[in-house]
């Protein structure tokens, strides 16, 4: 049991040593405008905004595809009706 705890703490220490300097990041004055915007606002609102944009785009695409499929179904039904009336008249 003690061996498992040592292994876990060793893995965490290894990650901290490997990526510690990368997690520190650059100063606010050296970062891009996007990173400054993200850090100046609460990140939850940024995540919420991106999530809402994705959902609205998906809903828009689904509605658009549904309308196109409905139009194709109507054309197919009209073509089938005209074929049926043509064959009925010629018989």
- Dihedral over alpha carbons 46, 47, 48, 52 (to 10 degrees): 100
What is the pLDDT averaged over residues 7-11?
56
pLDDT at 90: 57
Q: What is the DSSP letter of 41?
A: S
Can you tell me which residue has the tokens 């990041």? 25
List, as own/partner pairs, every contact residues 80-85 make where C-beta atoms lie below 8 angstroms and the sequence separation is at least 24, other chains included: none
For 68-87, write each residue's pLDDT tens digit. 999 999 999 999 998 888 77
For 10-65, write each residue's pLDDT tens digit. 555 666 666 555 555 555 556 677 777 767 767 888 889 999 999 999 999 999 99
Contact 28, 36 (CB under 8 A): yes
Nearest to 44 by CA among 52, 56, 55: 52
pLDDT at 70: 97
Can you tell me which residue has the tokens 């049991």? 1
């Amino acid at each position: 049991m003690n061996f498992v705890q040592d292994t876990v703490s060793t893995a965490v220490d290894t990650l901290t040593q490997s990526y510690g300097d990368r997690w520190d990041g650059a100063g606010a004055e050296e970062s891009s405008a996007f990173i400054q915007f993200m850090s100046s606002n609460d990140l939850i609102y940024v995540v919420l905004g991106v999530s809402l944009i994705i959902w609205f785009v998906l809903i828009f695409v689904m509605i658009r595809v549904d309308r196109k499929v409905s139009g194709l179904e109507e054309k197919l039904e009209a073509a089938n009706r005209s074929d049926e009336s043509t064959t009925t008249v010629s018989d």
